[in-house]
Structure 1
Amino acid sequence: SNAYLFVDWLAGAGQTYWQVLPLGEIGPGNSPYMSSSAFAGNVLIIDLFDLAHQGWLSQEDLIPLPEFRHDRVDYGLQKQFRVERLHRAAKQFFAGGNEAMHSAYSEFCMAQHEWLRDYALFKTISEQQEGRNWNQWPTALANREVEALRRLEVEYVEQINFWKFCQWCFARQWEQLKQYANERGVQLIGDVPIFVAYQSADVWAHPELFELDQSGYPIAVAGVPPDYFSATGQLWGNPLYRWDVHEQTSYAWWVQRLRHALRSFDRVRIDHFRGFAAYWAVPANENTAVNGRWLPGPGAKLFDAFKKAFVDLPIIAEDLGVITPDVAELRDNFELPGMRILQFAFAEDNSNHFLPHNYIANTIAYTGTHDNDTMLGWWNTASEKEKSFVRQYFGREVIDVPWDMMGALSGSVANTVIFPMQDVLCLSGEDRMNLPGSSDGNWEWRFTWDQVQPWQTVKLSKMTSMNARS
C-alpha cells in the first residue's frame, strides 16, 4: 500500500521520523481534531485490499474502484464506498470459521474494553438517532441507563459488532505498519488533540469529566484568543474538562488515553500544550473566541501522573500561540521538547526565538505545521520587509525558498527537524493542509507519487547526512 511505500521512501531518503495528523475519525469540516472518540481509529484508512487478502472481500468488491481523485480526498465518496465494503467484510468475517482470527478479535475486544464498548454503542445509537447530539437522544440512552443499553446490545448486536470489527482491523493494520516502519529505522510520531468533540463517545460515556450543565450542554467551550491566524481568535467549540474531577481519579482517563497513543506511536505531539497550564474558556453562546478568559489547567499534577504511569515521556509539547512563563516552566520541568516554526521567524528582529540561531537542542523544528501555508506559499504572500529580513539572515538572495529553509533548520542545533511533504515537493499555497478559521477545503490534500522526483530524494538524503542527522 502507499503507506508502506512511503516508509520505504523515508528510509531511502535517510529519514528517521514520520509525523502524522490525529488518526481518529474525522468530525465537522473533515477535521481530525473533532473526532467521535479519543481512542478509535479512522475506519476510512483501513486497507480494503488487506481484507480481501484475508478472504473477507472478493475481487468484485474492489475492482473496478470508483474514480477517486489522487491529489485530494473526497470524503463523501470515500465514506460511501469504504463503509459499505467494511460491512461486507464484517459479515463475511463473522460468518467464517477462521478460529485464529476470531480469537484475535475476541482478545482485542477484551483488551480494549475500557473504551471499545462505549464507542460501538455510541456509533450505533448515533446512526439510529440520525446524528442528533447525544443529549437529544431518548432519556434512557442519553443517561446510559443499564437496561436500555442492554436491550440495545441485543437488538443491534450486528451493528455494534461491526464497529468493533472495524476498530480491530484498524489496530491490526496499524500495528503491522508500525512494526514495518520501526524495522526500517523509521519512528512514528502521532498527534494527540488536547480536547475532544462534544458529540463523542468520551463525553457521552463520561459526562462527569466535562463542564456540562444539567441538560448535558457545554457551559463553556475551547478556543484561543486573537492571534497570528485570526483577528477574532479561533472558536473550536470543544467542551472543557472538569480538571478537579480528573484529579480525584488520579487522571485515569488521561493516563489511559496516553497509554493508548503510545501503543500506536513511538512519540506523540500533544496539541495545544499551553492548555495544561491555562486554557481559553469561551461562553458557549458566543460566536467568536474574543470574549473568553484564561482559566488554570492541571499543570504539573497531570504530568506527575504520567511520570508515575510511564517509564519515560516521549511527548512533544506543541507550545505555540500565547506562551506565558508558566507554560515554559511546565514544559521545561518535565524536560519536554518544544516546537519552533520557521515561518514565524522573520516578522521581527534577530531576537525572535523562532530563528534557528536562537534554538536550543531540546527542540523540534518545523518549516511549518498543518496550520501554516506551505513554505513557497508563505514566501509568495510575505511582505517585502519579511523577504528583506530573510535575505539579510541568509546573507544572499534566496533562490529555492523551501529547500533553503529546510537547510537552515537541518543545520540548526534542534535535535529533530520535521519537514511537511509539501515543502519537500516545493508546492504552493494551494496545497496547504488547513486554513484556521475556514471550514471548506481543509484536510483534503494528498501527494501523488509522480510528484516525487529522484532528485528530491537524493537532495533530502544528502542534506540529512551532511548535517549528521541520519
Structure 2
Amino acid sequence: MIEVNSAKPRFSGVLLHPTSLPGKRTCGGFGQEARDWLELLAKSGISVWQVLPLSPPDSTGSPYSSPSSFAFNPWLLDVNDLAQQGFIAMDVCNELSSSKQDINSSMDFDLANLHSRKLGQALRKEWPIQNSSSHKEFLDWCADQFWLEDHVMFMELRIQNNQLPWWEWPEDLALHNKKELNNFKVNFKEALLEHSLLQWHLDRQWSSIRSLANDLGILIFGDLPFYVSRDSADVWSNRSLFSILANGEMYMQSGVPPDYFSETGQLWGTPVYRWQSNKRSHFRWWRRRLSRQWNQFDLLRLDHFRALDSFWAVPGNDKTAQDGSWIPSPGLKLLKLLKKDYGQKLPLIAEDLGVITPRVEKLRNYFGLPGMKILQFAFDGNQENPYLPENIRDYRSIVYTGTHDNETTTGWWAEVGPEIKSRLRKQSNQENDSPAWQLIELGLQTQACLFIAPMQDILGLGNEARFNTPGTVKRSNWSWRLEAFNDSVLAGVEKYGQLSKSYGRSFAEVSTLIG
C-alpha cells in the first residue's frame, strides 16, 4: 500500500503535443482544436497540459533540434482564426484546410512547410490593407523581440541557399557580416516580412491559448532542450557562446558516455557551451532564452539537467562518444541569476533520468526543483528501484507512465518479459486488465505533486502511436496525432479525471505548483 500525505495538494496532467491535436490541416495547432482540448481538460478536472518544445522543428520533424530557440513552429498557426479576423482571404483558408489526411500515415513535413510558406505569403499580401492599430501592434511587438531579426534572416537565407546549413552559405553571410546582412534585408524586405508576420500571429494565438488556460485554471507545462542545433540562428548569430569555429566546424560536441545500454555512448552532434564566454556576458543569452520560455509556459522541464553540474564533451571530429571527458558547468551561478530574474521559486522541472550523481541531486535540491520518475523503469525486481511507486516519497516529483521518448505502455507491455509482467500485476492489484491503466492508477496513487499520462496511454494505444524513438529518423517519429475528439477520447479523458479525483488529485490550487 502506498502511503500518501493528503495534506499537500496533488495534481494530474496529460502529455499531448499541439501537432497531435485533430484538425483538417497537416497537423494540429493554436486554433479551435486547442481551445476544445483545454475545455475538455477543465471539464474532466485535469490541471496540467504538458507539451513539447513549440519551436520550429528540423527536417525530421523534431522540435528538439530547432533552427531557433526563440521562435514558434509556423505549422501551428491556425488559418481559420486568421481568416475570421480578416488577416487572410477565405480562399487561402480553404486551400490550406485540406481534407483530413489518413491518420495511419506519417505526417507530411514537406507539405506542412509548404503550407507555412503559402500562409506567410498570404499574410504579407493582405498586410497593406490591415488597419493602423494592427500595424502599430506589430511594429511594437517586433521592437521588443531582440531575437527576431536574426531569426527571420536565418530562415530566409536557408531558403535562398536551398536549405544548406549556414556554414555552406556565401562566406560573408555565413560569417554574419553586418554590411552584407543589411544589404540582404533591403533586397529581401518582403520575404522577411512574411517570416515576421508568421511569428507575430503565432505569438498572438499562443497568448490567447495561455489566457484561456489561465481562465480555466489549467497550467501549461513546456519543455526546453539543453543544447541547441549547430545549424540554428542561435549558433549562427552567437558563435562566441558555442564550441564552434568560424567555418562551422565543432571543436567539441555534446553527448553522454558509454554505459550499460550503449558501448560507445550517445553522440548528439550539437556544440557544447563555451561557459567562460557565457559567464563574461552574465549569461545574457541564457537568461533571455528562459525569459522567453516563461512568457510561454507556467512550468518548464529543463532537458538534460545534469549538464548544469558537468557535461560530457567529445572532440568535434569523433564519430562516437567514447573519448569524451566530464567538464564542470557553472550551473549554480546561472540558476541563481535565473531565480533573481524570475523573482520567486523557479518554475523548472529537472529532467534527471539516468545516472545522476550526488552533486547533480544537490544542485537540484538546492533550488527545490522537482525531478522525474518513469514507471516503465520500475519493475526490474530491485526493491530499491527509485521508480517503484512505493519508493517515490519526495513530494517534489513528476511521475509518468512514460515520456514522449518511451514506448507507449501497451507497446512496452507487449515487449517485456513475464517477470516484469508478473511484478506489475502483483504491484497493481487492480481489476483493470489494461497495463496502461494499471500504470496510470499506480502513478495517481503516489505522493508526487504531479502525475502525467501521455494521451496514447489514456487511449491504450500500442507502439503504432509511439511519438518518438530516440536515435532514429523514422518517418513515423513526431507524426502521431488524434483523428478527432471522438467518443474514445472523451471517455478516456473523463475516466482519467474521475480516477484523479478518486485518488485525491485536485483541480483547485494548481498554482501551488509554481508558487
- Whether TM exceeds 0.5 here: the answer is yes
Closer, same or farther: CA 283–397 of 1 in aligned 2, 3 Å: farther
**Residue in 2 aligned with 1:467?**
503
Task: Kindly state the Cα deviation for residue 396 of structure 1 after the two structures are TM-superposed.
Answer: 6.5
Instruction: Give CA-to-partner distance per residue, 1:197-248, whole Å, 9 cap, x none.
Output: 1111110110000011343311121122345765543322111100111111
Alignment partner, residue 61 of structure 1: 92
Please state how far the C-alpha of 1:133 moved relative to its aligned partner.
Answer: 2.0
Match of 1:307 among 336, 339, 352: 339
C-alpha displacement of 1:119: 0.6
Change beyond 3 A, Cα 1:28–1:277: farther
User: Is residue 2:216 matched to residue 1:184?
Assistant: yes
User: CA 1:455–1:229 in structure 2 vs 1: closer, same or farther (change >3 Å)?
Assistant: farther
Deviation string 1:275-332 (CA, Å, 9 cap, x unpaired) is 1112222222233333333222222111111112111210000111221111111100
Greater RCO between the two (CA within 8 Å, min separation 6)? 2
| Pairing 1:201-350 to 2, within 5 Å after superposition | 201-226=233-258, 230=262, 232-312=264-344, 313-350=346-383
Distance in 1, Cα, partners of 2:261 & 2:471: 8
Q: Which residue of 1 aligns with 2:480?
A: 445
Deviations 1:354-394 (A, max 9, x none): 11111110101111101100111111101122112212323
Change (3 A) 1:323 1:337: same
Give the C-alpha shift of residue 128 in structure 1: 1.4
Q: Output aligned runs, 1:52-131, within 5 Å.
A: 52-63=83-94, 65-69=97-101, 71=103, 72-93=106-127, 95-112=128-145, 114-131=146-163
Cα distance in 2 between the residues matched to 1:163 and 1:387: 51
Conserved in 1, the CA contact under 8 Å of 2:124 and 2:190?
A: no
Q: How far apart, CA to CA, are the structure 2 residues paired with 1:37 and 1:458? A: 37
The CA distance in 2 between the partners of 1:451 and 1:283, in whole Å, is 53
Give the C-alpha shift of residue 90 in structure 1: 2.1
SS in 2 for 1:326: helix
The one-letter amino acid of 1:191's match is D
Equivalent-residue separation in structure 1 for 2:91 and 2:167 (angstroms): 42
Query: Could you say which residue in structure 2 is the equivalent of 1:403?
Result: 437
Aligned to 2:467: 433
Deviation at 1:67, TM superposition (A): 3.6
Aligned pairs, how many?
468
Which region of structure 1 is more displaced relative to structure 2, 431-440 or 122-131? 122-131
CA shift in 2, pair 1:147/1:96, >3 Å: same
Q: Secondary structure at the match of 2:66?
A: coil
Counterpart pick for 2:192 among 137, 143, 160: 160
**Rounded Cα–Cα distance in structure 2 between residues aligned with 1:445 and 1:224:** 28
- SS of equivalent to 1:339: strand
1:19 aligns with 2:44: no
In 2 relative to 1, CA 453–88 (structure 1 residues): closer, same or farther, beyond 3 Å? closer
1:379 aligns with 2:413: yes
The SS at the match of 2:229 is: coil
Q: What's the CA shift for 1:395?
A: 4.4
Residue identity in the other structure for 2:195 = W
User: Helix, strand or coil for the counterpart of 1:213?
Assistant: coil
Structure 1 unaligned blocks of 5 or more:
none
Distance 2:54 2:241 in 1: 23
1:146 is aligned to 2:201: no
Q: Which moved more, 1:65-74 or 1:351-360?
A: 65-74
Structure 2 counterparts to residues 38-57 of structure 1, below 5 A: 38-57=69-88
- Please state how far the C-alpha of 1:139 moved relative to its aligned partner: 2.2
- Alpha-carbon distance between aligned partners in 2 of 1:389 and 1:286, rounded to the nearest angstrom: 42
- Structure 1 CA distance for aligned equivalents of residues 261 and 35 of structure 2: 34
Instruction: Decide which of 402, 405, 429 is 1:368's aligned counterpart.
Output: 402
TM-score scaled by structure 1? 0.96
Secondary structure of the structure 2 residue equivalent to 1:30: coil
Q: Is the CA contact 1:44–1:83 (under 8 Å) kept in the aligned structure 2? A: no
Q: Displacement, 1:70?
A: 5.5
1:304 counterpart letter in structure 2:
K
- Greater alpha carbon shift after TM alignment, 168-177 vs 155-164: 155-164
> Which residue is equivalent to 2:512?
none
Which of the numbers 189, 197, 201 marks the counterpart of 2:229? 197
Letter in 1 for 2:496: L
Greater mean alpha carbon deviation, residues 248-257 or residues 78-87: 78-87
CA distance in 2, matches of 1:418, 1:230: 28
Q: Which amino acid aligns with 1:99?
A: S
Please give the alpha-carbon distance, in whole angstroms, between the structure 2 residues aligned to 1:336 and 1:221: 27
**Matching of residues 5-16 of structure 1 within 5 Å:** 5-16=36-47
Three-state SS of the structure 1 residue aligned to 2:295 is: helix
Q: 1:257 to 1:423 in 2, by over 3 A?
A: same
What's the offset of the Cα at 1:55? 1.6
Q: Which range moved further: 274-283 or 227-236?
A: 227-236
Give SS of 2:269's match.
Answer: strand
Separation of aligned partners in 2, 1:214 and 1:79: 29
Partner Cα separation in structure 1 for residue 190 and residue 440 of structure 2: 51
User: Is structure 2 residue 413 aligned with structure 1 residue 413?
Assistant: no
Superposed CA deviations along residues 147-170 of structure 1, whole A, max 9, x for unmatched, are 111111111111111111111011
Shift of 1:6: 0.7
Deviations 1:432-469 (A, max 9, x none): 11011111121111122236344323321211111221
- Identical-residue share of aligned pairs (%): 38
2-structure distance, mates of 1:231, 1:131: 34
What is the CA–CA distance in structure 1 between the aligned matches of 2:199 and 2:91, rounded to whole Å?
Answer: 24
Q: Residue 456 of structure 2 contacts residue 465 of structure 2 at CA under 8 Å; is this kept in 1?
A: yes
Name the SS for the 1:365 alignment partner.
strand
CA contact (8 A) 2:123 2:194 kept: no
